[in-house]
Amino acid sequence: MRVVWSPKGGVGSTSIAIGLAWRRAEVAPSWLIDVHGGVAAVLGVESATLGLADWADATDAPDDALARLTREVAPGVGLLGPGTASIGGELDVRRLRSETLAVGPTVIVDAGTHPVTSALVAAADRSTMVLRNCGAAVAMAVRCPIVADEVFVIVEPGRALRGRDVERALDVPAVEVPFVPAMAGATDVGLSRAGVPRRLARALRVA
């Protein structure tokens, strides 16, 4: 289970999570778990009625409940949304990890800035922070208590900071990801389901 998150909202963690899920689906099935509830709109698909919060609340959920709640939104990519209720800090993340491992897909969790991020990261195999090359965002990341295994730095034109600067500040490996206007536009109008722009896909091949 790989958790994609950010200490600051609006930096592009959902775009990175979508890109990673699409990339993994090229070789094996992947699940994209949406904790905060924004992925369906970005993909331009209708939000599912039932989802992760409903699974968490069920005391007698069958073994294949998560698989039943996951729907295919692209070839090899299943989406599991938050469902009818908000997801709180009581989410049993270890149970979530255990049951997704039993099913077998690569799991990408788009946590964004959700309060349950810390617990998700503690149970994850990999913690991926997403930042823009902005001094305020990096300063916030330095103060953040959540541990990252790596940081994806979305490099916007006109800003002086680069991946190596973020790497030194946080003492974790940094991957530079170009700011792709086509992805930002697709996110705004709910067309990301159509695919990941080539420049972003190339950057994610090292991830």
- Higher pLDDT, residue 188 or 71: 71
Helix (H, G, I), strand (E, B) or coil at 108: strand
Q: What is the CATH number of the domain that holds 52?
A: 3.40.50.300
Q: Looking at the predicted structure, is the pLDDT value of residue 189 above 50?
A: no
Taking only the tens place, the pLDDT of each residue in 49-95 is 889 988 888 878 788 888 899 999 889 999 999 987 777 656 888 88
Taking only the tens place, the pLDDT of each residue in 105-127 is 789 999 999 888 999 999 999 99
Instruction: Kindly report which listed range (28-37, 119-128, 176-185) carries the lowest average pLDDT score.
Output: 176-185
Determine the average pLDDT of the residues in 138-146. Answer: 94
Determine the average pLDDT of the residues in 158-172. Answer: 92
Q: Looking at the predicted structure, is the pLDDT value of residue 163 above 60?
A: yes
Roughly what angle, to the nearest 10 degrees, separates helices 181-189 and 13-24? 100
CA distance 127 to 2: 6
Q: What percent of the chain has pLDDT over 90?
A: 42
Q: Looking at the predicted structure, is the pLDDT value of residue 98 above 80?
A: yes
Q: ∠ CA(16), CA(106), CA(125), 5° rounding? A: 80
- Per-residue confidence band for 199, with pLDDT thresholds at 50, 70 and 90: low
| 8 A C-beta contact, residue 69 and residue 80 | yes
Query: How many domains does one find in the chain?
Result: 1
Range of the domain at 12: 2-204
Mean per-residue pLDDT of the chain: 84
Q: Which H helix or E strand runs over 15? A: helix 13-24
How many residues comprise the chain? 207
Helix (H, G, I), strand (E, B) or coil at 120: helix
Phi, psi of 70 (to 5 degrees): -90, 130
